Amino acid sequence: MTTVSYLIIGSLALLSFVLLMRLFMLRYQLYLIRKQLSFLAGAQTNLLLTSQIRFRETQALLLDINQVLQRERALTLQINKLNLNFKETITSISHDIRTPLTSAIGYLQMMERQNLTQDAQREYLLIIEKRIRAVQRMLDQLFEYARLESGELQFQEETINVSNLLRDTLGMFYNDFLEKDTEPSITIPEEAVLLMGDRAALKRIFENIMHNALVHGTGSYGVHMETATDQCRIIFSNQTDSIEEDDIDRIFERFFTTDKSRTKKSTGLGLSIAKKLTEEMKGSIGAFLTGDIFSIQLTFPIIASHGK
């Protein structure tokens, strides 16, 4: 054989050896990756895949796998947090519903066991009615929120006189203000302010905001409405001793409440529902805290504003 032949054979042998070694190292690298993945699958750890042997192909593979691992861990943390919040919420709502029911049952039992005067009976019945209505409101909010989330709630558009609807809704809370021995400051334009929307939804927005103010507010209640060329703005305000600046960004979150002890029997859904309904009606809603005055501002596009 010639020298050239020997050189060719030697080169081929060397190339074969290099390729075999590379194949061996690749297989070993895949074995190490599988071993690490097996360990990570059964361990609670933030470790990522590593490699001592650096091939471009395996490095790219490790990068992709590590990105998937990081996304999966972030998602797992988010799910665990949501599950914890959900369990805490269910526990709180169960407590909120059970407490007034237990109270109502207690008053019923006292009525059965005691010889009460008619005045005392009427007083007990009024207390029982308030407790049952509180439970009914909580259940209504839970049902309404579930319908909103599932998209089942159908909106019927019509022309609404916002001024009149706001006055009518405020009238529903007349006795609530009497019980608090306070009179709200109200400014509503005399002219008819018209918008297109769902009357029941807009009324629910007003009701939820007013109910929230009465439950959590401590005084200085105000409702002020003003109009511009193509929109109306309604501001509900009240004094507060429970809301802090850090709460403002969370005020419309579902189940959020600043009443940490949950003694005020609130699901924390009222303002969340108001926000969803407002956005469905192409409006905007915001919360603000200035000193100890908390306010919620609604803005809706209007189609007309004119005298009656």
Q: Give the β-pairing of 293-301 and 284-290.
A: antiparallel
CB atoms near residue 268 (< 10 Å): 22
Q: What is the mean pLDDT of residues 270-286?
A: 88
pLDDT over 90, % of the chain: 10
Over 223-292, what HEC string results?
EEEEECCCEEEEEEEEECCCCCHHHHHHCCCCCCCCCCCCCCCCCCCHHHHHHHHHHHCCCEEEEEEECC
Tell which wins on pLDDT, 263 or 126: 126
Helices (H) and strands (E) in the chain, counts: 7, 8
Provide the pLDDT for residue 258.
60
Provide the pLDDT for residue 6.
65
Q: Assess if CATH 3.30.70 describes domain 94-150.
A: no
- Backbone torsion region of residue 243, taken as left when φ is above 0, otherwise alpha when ψ lies between -120 and 50, otherwise beta: beta
Going by C-alpha positions, the residue among 275, 274, 276, 256 that lies closest to residue 266 is 256
Q: What is the mean pLDDT of residues 236-262?
A: 76
Place of tokens 């009525």: 111
Residue pLDDT, tens place only, 193-223: 888 888 888 998 999 999 888 888 888 899 9
pLDDT band of 271, cuts 50, 70, 90: confident
Q: What is the mean pLDDT of residues 50-68?
A: 79
Straight-line distance from the first to the last Cα atom of the chain, in angstroms, rounded to the nearest whole number: 115
pLDDT over 70, % of the chain: 89
Instruction: Say how far residue 76 (Cα) sits from the centre of its chain.
Output: 20
CATH 3.30.565.10: which residues of the chain?
Answer: 158-306
Is 262 a residue whose pLDDT tops 50?
no
Class of domain 158-306: alpha beta
Residue pLDDT, tens place only, 146-177: 777 777 777 788 899 999 999 999 888 888 88
CATH 1.10.287: which residues of the chain?
Answer: 94-150
Residue pLDDT, tens place only, 5-38: 767 777 777 777 777 777 777 777 777 778 888 8
> Sign of torsion, CA 209 86 84 49?
negative
